[in-house]
A and B are shown apart, each in its own frame.
Chain A
């Protein structure tokens, strides 16, 4: 019997050693160093960029590839605990509020009937109900749409305020109570480490709207701001420093990320300012007629001393669209008078004067948002109806209502240099606030702006090539042209890891961007 036991013991030793074990396993404590950082409870605070929003929606696989979740996977090798996220109900994206859809499903890359791939909204109905509150707390406190001054707002997740716009539907899904704030729900977790990427929306809303909002610089009452406004840099600085002060109160370490230049986003760099090709059968044959009409207008521009506003379409190369630039002096009345003096009837002259009082052809300095691509060259229905109400016959009204051709692209379809300047001035101020606070508190600072510039200018290398900011093909940006793909998130995660390691003397391993997906192909569209 004793003998048998010995054999059994030998056998069991054999079975134990059957498990292959490394001398130094990467998943064992001490293989990588945390340095001065403590990753045991990591909380990410921010907006859509932290939430894993992509393809114009929040959905599960996007959340799983959020940069905070990617970081958390790596932190788990260094004592990092569980990282929870307020996962959506599906991979379709979109939101329901009391059963009514308030946010659309995500976009996918679909091949159209013409054989060309393009972004399209995925078929399906959202199943994520905003009123269905998830039990937290969640490590990922990224809330799509949040601006810097929203983080401390109590009731920002109050579901009853969603319908009238005083609360955020994404925060309402997981706020701890009806008067909770994002910052409060983050702090109550006693994080040991944080990332803070906030402030993008403080200029982005203005930018993506084509500058339809207001530059609120000088207005210190954030309560009066609209969603498309630029946040006053002092309001930004105050709100931002309050957030950082609260986060670092318990010697918590973390990372601050600055705000990228919106002009490096494919949302603003994809649609060319001169998209009107003479080879286009809908446009080419019209060029002589259009140039004939514009010749009269150009004479009037010259007479009024603004010859630079002249509009002419080339018959040999692509022409710039005609845009309305609100920063130009409005010469509608003078233009009408000059055109009448030139022999045009009063009605037509008035129409022209009104339509082209702030018009010019676009230049390389104008940025056309991604959404303008579906508007350019199309009849503007609102304008058509206006013109017909003014008594124009339908055919003629149609001729004078073609976006970018006969009807200047409206404010929302173009980000003019003066609008870009407002954004840039605010952003520069925000970024100096962020960097100064990082220095003051000894926090890691990530130049996300520099990284996105690199993506835009020359790309970032990875093991199977280069990832860049080209729309659809570049790999960094999802189909909304603003938010990152999983691979883009991996690249930003690596940049964060680099700065964590530098600042805290840690050796957190990077991730391989080649293992992360880019855009999703699907013809499952409506």
Chain B
């Protein structure tokens, strides 16, 4: 390694540390598809696109086809996303004031030999930050939630031939969750302050893996396949703090600990890309997220006096259909655009306001500008268009009777992103 390389690596790790310290957040569902500005600009396609180090996330099998010895890509997005809710029957309305989410990625790949490359990837594919006004009409379901998960993955990729490669690696996940809701729709202390519980767990870690292959039948055509395993984050011994509970033996809620399991579902990506001449590239991806693992969010309180909290979710597996196009406008300027259709995993009657996610259309665009032969700046934006949806969560019970919480939801998300690509 020469001097400049060492210098770069130092910078890179410093940046990584800074980014790791940032909250990983996203509003409106907890799969966050923002794992590369170049890919995002093309509708977040990429399982069959060999462009820069972003391929480390989209398909590790592709890193061996990167032209340079050393490739790196880092980036961060600013997620501006909010959800509004209203109920016409009762004239109620509320809107989230969610903090800006800053999901990030950092990838580096290194070509060891002509037939083998290694890499290291850090990314944040799952996360959620939703902040409703405290004590709003749905506060018995959620006041606020902040879910973070950082994936760190060493990679290796082998070129079996000019036409075919494989790649993959183990994934280490570290996650944290902070969730607050009111105990029910009305309980309050003598001052009128609503009784609520906060559960918090940090440093929850787990292992998983991902693997893929890439097939290049012709110079222009690539086919990719990538599978990322399900990872269930088991929060054990997290803190559960009860606030504003009436001072009464009838409402005995001492602070305690809890166990809960939150799944990061498996995801399968298949796709193709095709180059038209020197300037054009199109890509089509299909993602299938195996959300059916998310049956129920069960919070098991250590203190037996406190009834466990069962929150059925019954998510369904869901697909996302992605399309992207890239145009090399100038020697140092590449333009991109894309579209995707993201189908919601939430079934009718299970629409809970802590992940208020309905079908979305993503409109994306962006550009890369080569500052030098080594450095490029990657810009992207994403606008997610959601239709208004009349939805309810029907499985909250009070006194043994199910009390649906419903209304009309409307979400928006606008996500500008910036990244840097480095190659040597």
Contacts and interface: CB of A to CB of B under 8 A. Distances in A.
Contacts of B412: 17-20
A27 B407 CA distance: 14
A518 interface: yes
A111 B248 CA distance: 7
B403 A464 contact: yes
Contact of A117 (B83, B84, B250, B411): B250
Contact of A520 (B81, B188, B411): B188
Nearest to B404: A463
Interface in B294-317: none
B248 A523 contact: yes
B190 interface: yes
B68 interface: no
A117 B81 CA distance: 47
A19 B388 contact: no
Contacts, number: 119
Contacts of B87: 26
Contact of B410 (A15, A22, A108): A22
A521 B246 contact: yes
A44 interface: no
B130 to A, nearest CB: 12
Contacts of A108: 190
B399 to A, nearest CB: 6
Contacts of B399: 464-465
B340 to A, nearest CB: 17
B192 A91 contact: yes
Most buried by B among A14, A17, A122, A465: A14
Interface stretch (B89-97, B209-217, B220-228): B89-97
Given A14-B383, A517-B186, A520-B188, A20 B90 contact: no
Given A15-B414, A117-B250, A521-B246, A514 B90 contact: no
Interface stretch (A421-429, A433-441, A504-512): A504-512
A74 B87 CA distance: 12
Nearest to A516: B186
Given A17-B412, A509-B91, A515-B137, A22 B84 contact: yes
B219 interface: no
Most buried by B among A11, A22, A32: A22
B398 interface: yes
A510 to B, nearest CB: 6
A52 B227 CA distance: 61
Contact of B95 (A20, A91, A487, A521): A20
A308 interface: no
Contacts of A14: 381, 383, 414, 416
Interface in B179-196: 185-192
A23 interface: yes
B375 interface: no
Nearest to A76: B91
Nearest to B408: A22
Given A464-B398, A520-B188, A509 B89 contact: yes
B397 to A, nearest CB: 9
B4 to A, nearest CB: 32
Nearest to A463: B403
A125 to B, nearest CB: 14
B90 A122 contact: no
B16 to A, nearest CB: 28
Nearest to B385: A17
Contacts of B386: 20
Nearest to A524: B247
Contact of B186 (A11, A64, A515): A515
A484 to B, nearest CB: 15
Interface in B311-361: none
Contacts of B188: 61, 517, 520
Given A20-B412, A22-B84, A521-B250, A27 B90 contact: no
B251 to A, nearest CB: 6
B191 A61 contact: yes
A421 B149 CA distance: 72
Nearest to B382: A14
Contacts of B416: 11, 14
Interface residues of B, number: 45
B384 to A, nearest CB: 10
A60 interface: yes
Contacts of A91: 190-192
B277 interface: no
A279 B420 CA distance: 85
Given A15-B414, A517-B187, A21 B398 contact: no
Contacts of B84: 20-22
A165 interface: no
A25 B192 contact: no
Interface string B255-270: 0000000000000000
Nearest to B190: A522
B283 to A, nearest CB: 24
Nearest to B397: A464
B88 interface: yes
B205 interface: no
B92 A26 contact: yes
B401 interface: yes
Given A64-B192, A517-B187, A524-B190, A18 B250 contact: no
A510 B92 CA distance: 10
A32 B91 contact: yes
A61 B248 contact: no
B82 interface: yes
Contacts of A511: 90
A26 B89 CA distance: 10
B184 to A, nearest CB: 9
A74 B89 CA distance: 11
Contacts of A122: 190
Contacts of A446: none
B86 interface: yes
Contacts of A77: 91
A469 interface: no
B172 interface: no
Interface in B76-110: 80-84, 86-93, 95
Given A14-B383, A522-B247, 13 more contacts: A17-B412, A20-B412, A21-B84, A22-B408, A22-B410, A109-B248, A109-B250, A110-B248, A463-B403, A464-B403, A465-B399, A510-B89, A522-B190
Interface of A: 11, 14-15, 17-23, 25-27, 31-32, 60-61, 64, 74, 77, 91, 108-111, 117, 122, 463-465, 487, 509-512, 514-518, 520-524
Closest 6 CB pairs of A and B: A61-B192, A509-B91, A521-B248, A20-B84, A517-B186, A521-B246
20 contacts: A17-B414, A20-B82, A20-B95, A25-B93, A27-B86, A111-B249, A463-B404, A487-B186, A509-B88, A509-B90, A510-B89, A510-B90, A512-B89, A515-B137, A518-B186, A520-B188, A521-B246, A521-B250, A522-B189, A522-B248
